[in-house]
Amino acid sequence: MQEARDKGQDERSRYPGLTVVHVAQGLLKAQVIKSKLEDAGIPVLLDYESVGRVIGITVDGLGEVRVLVPTSYADEAHMLIVEE
């Protein structure tokens, strides 16, 4: 997962037809990105481990939030996130 991010490649998700376009550290940042993408008409799904939110742990991947969009929107979503 980290390797795909480092190379700047789209990461395939466990959800068919969706691509991970960003991995945020924490739900707040992910929500901001989600809002920006949805304002541009791009449907978004946030994927994260619920235990991180429940007990407030944000280290060792528990705070990671994957921002997923339909694969056909991935390039547009990347451009919008980079503008940030």
Tell me the one-letter amino acid at 77: A
d(Cα 31, Cα 52) in Å, to the nearest integer? Answer: 16
SS3 helix, strand, coil % of the chain, rounded to 5?
A: 45, 25, 30
SS3 state at 68: strand
- Which pLDDT band, with edges at 50, 70 and 90, does 76 fall under? very high
What is the average pLDDT across 58-71?
79
d(Cα 72, Cα 78) in Å, to the nearest integer? Answer: 12
Domain regions of the chain by residue span: 2-83
CATH number of 2-83: 3.30.70
**pTM > 0.75: yes or no:** no
Can you give the C-alpha Rg of the chain in angstroms? 12
